[in-house]
Amino acid sequence: MLAIEKNRASQIQNIKSKRIEKVSVDELFDGISKGQYPELAKGITLIESTRPEDFEMANLLLTKCLSIQNSSLRIGITGVPGVGKSTFIESFGSYLTKMGKKVAVLAVDPTSSISKGSILGDKTRMEALVKDPNAFVRPSPAGDSLGGVSRKTRESIVLCEAAGFEIILIETVGVGQSETLVHSMVDFFLLLKLAGAGDELQGIKRGIIEMADAIIINKADGDNVKKAKLAKTEFARALHLYPPKENGWIPTVLMVSSIESSGLNDVWSLLKKFFEESEGNGHLSKNRFEQNRKWFEQNLENELKFRFFKNPHLQKDIAETLLKIEKNEVSPFHSAKLLVKKFLK
C-alpha cells in the first residue's frame, strides 16, 4: 500500500513537471505581469518543484518578478486548527474584493506523510472566494516543512506581487512553529482565537502575544457573543502586560463573526491605520529588509543542505555513517562534524 501511494505521488510530480516544461520562463513572466491566473499558478508550481532541473528556471522567474516593484500588504493569519481561519479569510477576502482590492490567498495545507497530498483542501472550503475574479486562492502542501509553512511561501508572495495583487493573505496550519515562521515573512500578524474553548489561557503565552499585531475573537455570533466579549476583555488585559512593540504599535483585540460578516470593517480600519503608521515611521521598509535577510538565510541553508546531500563524493560516507549510527557505533554529533569537514575541503 505504501509503495502504491509513493508511486502515485511520483506520478503526480512528473505530470506537474511536464506541464511546466511546456511553458518558457518568458511566457510565464509575461502572463504573471499581466495578472493572468493560469500563468501565476504555473509559476508557483514551478518554484514548488523539487526537481533539480527546475531550480534554474524557478530562480530566473523569481529574478524577473522581483524587478516589478508592486507594493502590497502582506498579512499573516494563524490560530489553532478549528478556530475558523479559512472561513474568516473567505469572509474578509470577499469584503476586500467588493472594495475593488485584488486579494491573493496562500493557504498552506498540512500534508500526508505517505502520499504527500494536501489534507484540508482549502479551495473546497473557500468556494465563494475561489470564484471571485478579484481573488486568487492557492493551497500549497506544507510537505515536511517545520510548522506547516511551505518552504516556497516567500517565493509565492513575490509572484503574487508581480501579478498585481494588493493584499496577500497567508494562512498557516496553526501548529508548532508556524507562528514564528509566518511572522518572519509578513508585515502584519493576525492571531485568531476562540471564546469558551480554553483558548484564553493559550493566548496569554508570552511568545504568541509578543508576535501578534492584533487578536481577533472569531465566531462572535449567536449564543457565543457573551463569551466572545469576555474573551476580548481577558486578551486585552493580557496585552497590557507587555510593552509596546519596537515600532510603537499597540496590539488590539477585535471581535468578528465570519458567518455574519460582522466586525470586518473594524479589521480593515485597523489594518489601514497600521500600514499608515508603519510607512510614516519607516517600520515597513525596515521590516521588509529584515524579511529579505531571513529569506536569504533560509535559501542559503537550503542550498548548502542540498549540495551536501547531493555531493557524489559524500554519498558512500553518508550511507556508511548512517549504518554505524543505527548500530550505536558512532556519535551522530561527531559524525556530522567529520562529514562537514570533508565537505568543506
Q: pLDDT-based confidence at 236, cuts 50/70/90?
A: confident
- Greater model confidence, 122 or 235: 235
pLDDT of residue 170: 92
Which triple of cell numbers denotes residue 161? Answer: 506581487
SS3 143: coil
Q: Which residue has the cell 515562521?
A: 181
Whether pLDDT at 22 is above 70: no
Q: Long-range contacts made by residues 32-40, C-beta under 8 angstroms, separation at least 24?
A: 32/65, 32/159, 32/162, 32/163, 33/65, 33/68, 33/162, 33/163, 35/102, 35/163, 35/164, 36/163, 37/136, 37/163, 40/136, 40/159, 40/160, 40/163
Q: pLDDT-based confidence at 23, cuts 50/70/90?
A: confident
Rounded distance, CA 139 to CA 12, Å? 16
User: Could you confirm whether domain 293-344 is CATH 1.10.287?
Assistant: yes
pLDDT of residue 206: 60
The domain limits of the chain are: 1-67, 69-281, 293-344
Rounded distance, CA 215 to CA 238, Å? 11
Q: Which residue has the cell 503574487?
A: 160
pLDDT of residue 120: 47
Whether pLDDT at 73 is above 50: yes
Q: Do domains 69-281 and 293-344 have the same CATH topology?
A: no
Whether pLDDT at 175 is above 60: no
Rounded distance, CA 337 to CA 345, Å? 13
Measured CA to CA in angstroms, residue 179 lies from 50, 78, 147, 282 at distances of 25, 7, 8, 24
- Greater model confidence, 218 or 172: 218
Whether pLDDT at 218 is above 50: yes
- Greater model confidence, 108 or 6: 108
pLDDT of residue 141: 63
Q: pLDDT-based confidence at 255, cuts 50/70/90?
A: very high
Do residues 138 and 108 make contact, with C-beta atoms less than 8 angstroms apart? Answer: no
Listed in sequence order, the residues at least 6 apart from 197 whose beta carbon sits closer than 8 Å to its beta carbon are none
> Average of pLDDT values for 172-182?
66
> Average of pLDDT values for 134-158?
72
Which triple of cell numbers denotes residue 73? Answer: 500588504
> Average of pLDDT values for 74-103?
91
Q: What CATH number does the domain located at 1-67 have?
A: 1.20.5.170
Do residues 11 and 117 make contact, with C-beta atoms less than 8 angstroms apart? Answer: no
Percentage with pLDDT > 70 across the chain: 80
DSSP string, 64-113: HHHTS----EEEEEE-STTS-HHHHHHHHHHHHHHTT--EEEEEEE-B-T
Q: What CATH number does the domain located at 69-281 have?
A: 3.40.50.300
Which triple of cell numbers denotes residue 287? Answer: 521590516
